[in-house]
Chain A
Amino acid sequence: MTAETVEHAGVLEIVAGDRPIREVNQEIRAAVAAGRDVVVERPMSRHNLAVALSGAGSVTFRGSVGYYCGGLSNGGRIVVEGNSGWGTGEGLADGHITVHGNAGMSLGAAMRGGTIHVKGNAGPRCGVAQKAGNIVVEGNVGYSTGFMGHGGRVICLGDAIGSVGDSLWEGSVWVAGEIRTLGVDAKVITPSAEEVAEVESLLSGLGVDAAGCDWKQVVSGQKLWYFEARDAKKWLMI
């Protein structure tokens, strides 16, 4: 334990500041793996904080974080009290990330499980190449949200800016607000009552009131699934 790290009422307090990121992460990782709760002061928008967490503990950042916060984790609970940068929760296999502010580009890129919950807005390419898991954004999402998603859900309670659900495989983008433009080979369907119940239950578990939302579910038109001449015009748009 370094001078910057103290224990207070059972919670480990770490000061990130300008310390080597490897050292800060080692302390976070060890504590979360041991099921403990950690608070990180002065995260200073540093990149790669809380990468590769496992275990049942939690870490709270008292401020904003940079790129890839929580990236490649397969456990733990992360709370960012400020904003988060690009690729938050990228490659997440399991675990839970909450961002109180806004999240940058490529939120939850290629994630394979777990939940990411952003209370503000998310940038472009939210849920890009997502394989599984849930991304919940209470505000708006940027262009190309869900781009080439394989599975899982992006759930947006605000508006989706443009090119929504571009080139999806089997993932889906749920939008309660306005869909400005759809991406290539994306279509809007009305979700089944069962699926709506599932999403509402997920949201209520996160303390998000989604009662009365007019859900639009964006899914793949499946025209890009095969190389065929009749879809040549679609292909030319990619």
Chain B
Amino acid sequence: MADDLSVRNGQQAAEELIAFGDGADAARPAGITSSYAEGRSSRWQREVIADIHAKAQLGRYQLRGFSTFQRNLPTFDDLVFQPATMTRLPLEGYREQCDTTTVLGDGLGKAEKPITLDIPIYIAAMSFGALSATAKAALGRGARKAGTMTCTGEGGMLEEEREENRTLVYQLTPARYMVDLEHVRRADAIELVVGQGAKPGTGGLLLGMKVSERVARMRSLPQGVDQRSTCRHPDFLGADDMAIKIEELREATDYRVPIFVKMGATRPYYDTAVAAKTGVDVIVLDGMEGGTGASPELLLDHTGVPTLAAIPAARRALDDTGMSGKVKLVAAGGIRSGADVAKALALGADCVMIGTAALMALGCNSPRYIEDYRKLGTEPGACHHCHTGLCPVGVATQDPVLSERVDVEAASERIYRFLTALTMEATLLAKACGKSSVHNLEPEDLRALTLEASAFTGIPLIGADKPFSW
């Protein structure tokens, strides 16, 4: 008996020594909590549970704006530049010139007036409807100041944006809002939209709160409806038909302006190879990080190819079909900085577009009107509520009071300065790599930090000096 007791006592003593006792979690180093105590599962995360609760109430998929929340996407941060050292000569960062002129639509010789931009960056298609008229005007004015252009997006040609922009790309989306001879002839380029990176394979979406009287009139819609656009064009199906459509557009514009085709990146090699044969001047390839005013959430997070992987595949397709230099490649989707711009150009893009970043320069997610962010259940720096039409800073709204929060002149100045800063960053990197033009940036200037980035970009793995291959 005595032995048994001593064994038990020994066990008790051991338990006391092992246990941390009450307040153990509080005693943990800062930032480390017990996932068990909090009921956190790596599979059933709080947002997963909240998503199930929301869908159980709604009976449909969730909708939102902004861009993908997908974790662990490869990014441009997986690549680093290798500036000139012993084998190459750098250019002086402050004295020597690095050309940024970008020409689109000159390669095939089909368009009499190719587009010449002062910088290799322009503002992506975002419709009047998704954005307020003040935001559209500010983007146009800012782009003009920076010597570049914007694109109308799906909702037709807004009078303010036509006046503010020196150069304007006019979109023909499958819904064909406001597409007629008058508007087509006021465009400096026509873009046939086959898809977009945020939600490839589907059409546009604009929820009723943003279908104001003016938006409805421009789109020939009943005011206040939840507009969903078709995913296929009404009058052509495959690439062979599209080639005929492109000829029609050249006829309608008297062979004056370049024709673009925009696609979401899904099979970038094959899609680019096919698109290049349709007779377009410019291919716009939008990676899955591309933003949107509204989309089924699952499309944002579960469809498409990241921009980083899409660009090299598209460039390879143009090389393989002998179309490099003839058909220009514009890349978009998640471009945030001049480093991203330079890396996109080095990977093979002739030009890049920015959308979400441009909205942020306008004021998106800026720390003003905090109370209005809170009403949406969010805060500056985390807002993704473009789909609600209640944008606290007046960018993604049709509310007349909110829209006035965009001071067109001030916002356009910020767009101009941001575009200037991006260009300066890109040229800084280019000059360090010894390039007198940003278009001379090349894959050889880059190294990959990760095996994955090396494998799908073909960029040598850092330290190994050859691409990872399998």
Q: Which residues of A contact B (CB under 8 A)?
A: 21-22, 25, 47-48, 51-52, 54, 66-68, 71-74, 86-87, 90-93, 105-106, 109-110, 112, 125, 128-129, 131-132, 147-148, 150-151, 169-170, 224-227, 229-230, 232, 235
Contacts and interface: CB of A to CB of B under 8 A. Distances in A.
A86 B225 contact: no
B181 A72 contact: yes
B59 interface: yes
B59 A232 contact: yes
Contacts of B179: 72, 91, 110, 112
Contacts of A125: 234
12 contacts: A22-B251, A22-B255, A51-B248, A67-B235, A67-B241, A67-B244, A68-B248, A87-B245, A128-B235, A150-B219, A169-B222, A224-B228
Interface string B32-64: 000000000000000000000000001110010
Contacts of A106: 234-235
Contacts of A225: 222, 225-226
The 7 closest A-B pairs by CB, nearest first: A229-B59, A87-B235, A110-B176, A150-B220, A109-B234, A93-B180, A128-B234
Contacts of A92: 180
B175 A129 contact: yes
B221 interface: yes
Given A67-B244, A150-B220, A235-B60, A91 B176 contact: yes
A48 B248 contact: yes
B265 to A, nearest CB: 25
B188 to A, nearest CB: 17
A90 B235 contact: yes
The binding surface of chain B is classed by DSSP as loop
Given A86-B241, A148-B230, A170-B222, A227 B207 contact: yes
B251 A232 contact: no
A52 B181 contact: yes
B184 interface: yes
Contacts of B244: 47-48, 66-68
A20 to B, nearest CB: 11
Contacts of A232: 59-60
B247 to A, nearest CB: 5
A109 B181 contact: no
Nearest to A52: B252
Nearest to A127: B234
Contacts of A235: 60
A113 B207 CA distance: 27
A93 B234 contact: no
A189 B379 CA distance: 49
A131 B218 CA distance: 11
Given A22-B250, A226-B208, 11 more contacts: A47-B247, A67-B248, A71-B252, A74-B180, A87-B236, A91-B180, A129-B234, A169-B220, A226-B226, A232-B60, A235-B60
A183 B207 CA distance: 23
